[in-house]
Structure 1
Amino acid sequence: MSKVHINWEGNMKFVGADDSGIAIPMDAAEIYGGQGQGVRPMELMLMSLGGCTGIEVTHILNKMRVTFDELKIEVTGNRVEDHPKVFGDIQVIYRFTGENVPVEKVNKALQLAEQVYCSAANMMNKVAKITYSFEINGTVHEYQPKQDAN
């Protein structure tokens, strides 16, 4: 079971911590009285998606014996107009650098991460349309999601 603790620190600032004591400050937008003292909770959700898929992609590529020098992940979310203003669509871009990073293996790792192993992606895609793409050494490659055999 996962469990976190969130403490109010005054004004609109909260600090969340996991059972290990690792803490993340959160704050509201300025229009709600926030003072820029933490990440906004909805941005934290985008970070969770990028972190979760990034961990899974890296783990899978390690098992495939694929090495890379750098991986940067950019996640952009567009919120709907009406409350509760959830994300309607999310775009995730993986940017790899390194020698001999095979396109097919990156695509396969991304398929497994987003469709099977990343809990955040599987939960968030029930609300938002999530699209993925990746680059290797600056070259954009079209992500090919695994098609159902139905």
Structure 2
Amino acid sequence: MDVNKIDLNFIYDFDGEVRTPTGKILIGEGENKMMPYDLLFGALGSCMYANFIGICKKKKITFDTVKVEVTGEKRDEIPALLQWVSVKYIVKGGSSEKGFIQAADLSSKYCSIFQTISNVAKMTCTIEFES
């Protein structure tokens, strides 16, 4: 079992940083800082992509670039849980549309963050192709 640890350091206001063994991210309100849902959506998108690229490599399908867009909406009531989250892959210069569709579908099944969020929010995963 993997154990992960990060440290968060704050000054009195909502101004701080996340420190990991490999780097740091500034958190809070303001330029070059991330808010909590930015971090969550970034974690979701990177988890999805890590699974997606692993599947693409196994299937030997290639692309020029992939953009992952994560969009979501919180509920109005407190706690403001996510109501829905959408993950969209935008593939440019892809070699196999069918293979990419399968890779996107499998990435949502294998991504533990996607599965965790799906316990509170309606989740969708789509793929779009650009030439």
TM-score, length basis structure 1: 0.80
1:89-131 alpha-carbon deviations (Å, 9 max, x no partner): 01111000115x212111111122111x211111111111111
* Secondary structure of residue in 2 paired with 1:110: helix
TM-score, length basis structure 2: 0.91
Distance 1:17 1:113 in 2: 27
One-letter code aligned to 2:100 = V
What count of residue pairs does the alignment treat as equivalent?
Answer: 129
One-letter code aligned to 2:60 = R
Stretches of 4+ aligned residues off by more than 2 angstroms: 34-37
* Secondary structure of residue in 2 paired with 1:81: coil
Shift of the alpha carbon at 1:9?
Answer: 3.7
Partner of 2:13: 11
Higher strand fraction (1 or 2)? 2
Shift of the alpha carbon at 1:11?
Answer: 2.4
One-letter code aligned to 1:109 = A
Q: Which residues of structure 1 form unaligned runs of 5+?
A: 28-33, 139-150
The answer to whether the 8 A contact 1:77-1:89 is kept is yes
Q: Which residues of structure 2 form unaligned runs of 5+?
A: none
Return the structure number with greater relative CO, CA threshold 8 A, min gap 6.
Answer: 2
The answer to whether the 8 A contact 1:13-1:37 is kept is no
Larger radius of gyration: 1
The 5 A counterparts of 1:1-150 are 1-18=3-20, 20-27=21-28, 34-36=29-31, 38-99=33-94, 101-115=95-109, 117-137=110-130
Identity %: 25
One-letter code aligned to 1:108 = Q
Distance 1:21 1:75 in 2: 24
One-letter code aligned to 1:103 = E
1:38-84 alpha-carbon deviations (Å, 9 max, x no partner): 10011211111111101110111011111100000111110000111
Partner of 1:147: none
Distance 1:129 1:3 in 2: 28
Shift of the alpha carbon at 1:37?
Answer: 5.0
The answer to whether the 8 A contact 1:5-1:16 is kept is yes
* Secondary structure of residue in 1 paired with 2:44: helix
